[in-house]
Amino acid sequence: MNIEEIMRYLPHRYPFLMIDRVVRLDPGKAATAIKNVTIDEPFFQGHFPGHPIMPGVLIAEALAQTGGLAFASAEENPNEETQFKLPILAKIEEMRFRSAVSPGDQLLLHAQVLRAYQSLAIVKVEAKVNDSTVAHGKIVLAKGP
């Protein structure tokens, strides 16, 4: 899934779209995406000067967007003319951050829908850099307006 296809399912745009490419998608069940972390990211200006580290909350957001794609992809043909409900992060559970993410890293984002209801999903998420887990946990997504 390329960036244009991703934007059909997620409303996020620069600078808040945290997924560059989807490498695996099992609609309604799981997704694997890539986020290329570059020094040009606007958050590196202040987090932290001289020692840039990607904020954990943005890693969690990238994971939530990946989970949102997994959950929302069960919908067929999402667009502005349908009653498509956007996946919104409702809760973060058991999130753990294992190591820092720096410019030049490539985040591999995994999301697996554990339980899905009509308007709610519980999703297991994990972020890796070079086969090493940097964050993992569970999130709850709700289909919003």
Choice among 12, 47, 51, 110 that is catalytic: 47
Q: Are 121 and 67 in contact (CB under 8 A)?
A: yes
Residue 51: active-site member: no
Residues with a catalytic annotation lie at 47
